[in-house]
Amino acid sequence: MIASALVIGGGIAGMSAALVLSRLGVPVDLIDADPEWRTYGAGISVTGTSLRALDDLGMLDEVRARGNVASGIKGRSPDGSILFEVPPSPDAPPIQCSGGIMRSELHEILSLRVKASPVRVRLGLKVAGMDDQGDSVAVAFSDGTQGNYDLVVGADGIYSQTRNALFPDAPQAVFTGQGCWRAVAPRPEGMTGTEMFFGGQVKLGFNPVSSTHMYMFALENVPDNPRYAEHELVDRLKKLLNGFGSYVAQVRDGLGAHSLVNYRPLEWQLLADPWYKGRVVLIGDAAHATTPHMASGAGMAIEDALVLGRELAAHDGIEQALAAFMAHRFERARIVVENSVRIGTIEMTGGDQVEANRMLGGTLAALQQPY
């Protein structure tokens, strides 16, 4: 086993990795570039695979308490009429459920655990240089301090500087042609779980994030990749919601300057196998960033951390452990990223929705297999 680890990036992947390694008895340093260690104000959908991973990390009860976990889903057409309904099943195991939680809540659940663990957290810090010396990695930090580690885990997100340092020729994130709008609003009466509106120009979904609130996401086709000023967001989103039936008009009319509204162009990147070189390994969005079509980024990031810990515990040598880690992770990440991007392309080109549904169902079913 390793005697020390550095985790670069304190997002979902990095915090999970730090906790997993620390629980194995490894002294861990976790650094994050953000001095405030913040996340942004949006909800996040948690699929069955994400819930199982959170359960395996020991956090499912807190996610249930601070977010919303349910089973069942309603599919609606743009006018609000029900296309299909999978009723909730009270005894469904986590893998058969889905849910939503505010990113700030999930961040707090994870970061409080990290702070309560032996992990040493250092904020406002980046890596200035890394030298893999074979038997350890010498790291120079941006504040002039240095460290020496048996293992370095790069979990610094889609624009990972660790990835750039390790694999300078790796492709950068690619814009897909869609943008994602998210807003938080009071939960309409009767909404118990995920609801999706299919078939319009905009794909719209709702997910409760607490007993009182839900978050809404809307995918828009934006081939020219527009950028919006903060003050334009609410009005632009309201326009996109025009024409939808059921409770959507009520949600739209309730949006205002007070609302949390967020817009992100969708990007993806999938690093070729292997995601490691020597004693430095990449996990989470640093290795495989996907569009939200499967809402599986969080679960995949946590699974990466759990599998990394499992393989490090099972192998004496780092090389063997990282090779075993890759054997479990690459194909799983590949189908999520490639099929998510493909579904987005079908949406943008008005392609075969049956193929998109089959791909979504098939990928989510594959993800239900043990990781």
Ligand X SMILES: Cc1cc2nc3c(=O)[nH]c(=O)nc-3n(C[C@H](O)[C@H](O)[C@H](O)COP(=O)(O)OP(=O)(O)OC[C@H]3O[C@@H](n4cnc5c(N)ncnc54)[C@H](O)[C@@H]3O)c2cc1C
Q: Where along the sequence are the contacts to ligand X (CB under 6 A)?
A: 8-14, 31-34, 44-45, 50, 126, 155-157, 161, 180, 264, 284-286, 292, 295-299, 301
Reading the block at residue 253, the tokens are 């009319």
- For the bound state, the minimum distance from the C-beta of residue 267 to ligand X, rounded and expressed in Å, comes to 7
Among the residues of the chain, which ranges form H helices?
12-23, 48-56, 60-66, 103-116, 161-166, 233-241, 248-254, 297-314, 318-349, 353-367
- Residue 4 CB, nearest approach to ligand X (Å): 18
b/e sequence 155-166, b meaning 16+ C-beta within 10 Å: bbbbebbbbeeb
d(CA 149, CA 137) in angstroms, rounded, equals 5
Q: How many CA atoms lie within 13 A of 5 on its CB side?
A: 33
Q: What is the DSSP letter of 94?
A: G
Amino acid at 321: A
Looking at the Cβ atoms of 172 and 320, the one nearer to ligand X is 172
- Closest to ligand X by CB, 193 vs 297, is 297
Q: Considering the complex, what minimum distance in angstroms separates the CB of residue 201 from ligand X?
A: 18
- Least spacing, CB of residue 81 vs ligand X, in Å: 25
In the complex with ligand X, which residue's Cβ is closer, 9 or 193? 9
CB neighbour class for 101 (10 Å; exposed up to 12, middle 13-18, buried from 19): buried
Minimum CB separation of residue 310 from ligand X in Å reads 18
**Cβ 313 to ligand X shortest distance, Å:** 22
Residue 220's contacts (CB-CB under 8 Å, 6 or more residues apart) are 178, 179, 180, 181, 201, 202, 240
Q: Is 11 helix (H, G, I), strand (E, B) or coil?
A: coil
- Which token pair is 42? 């949006």
Taking alpha carbons only, the member of 175, 173, 156 closest to residue 225 is 175
Closest separation between CB of residue 142 and ligand X, Å?
A: 8
Nearer to ligand X, 264 or 358 (CB): 264
Q: What is the nearest approach in angstroms of ligand X to the Cβ of residue 326?
A: 17
Nearer to ligand X, 284 or 309 (CB): 284
128 or 314, CB closer to ligand X?
128
- The tokens describing 246, both together, are 């059921």
239 vs 264, beta carbon nearer ligand X: 264
Choice between 132 and 315, CB closer to ligand X? 132
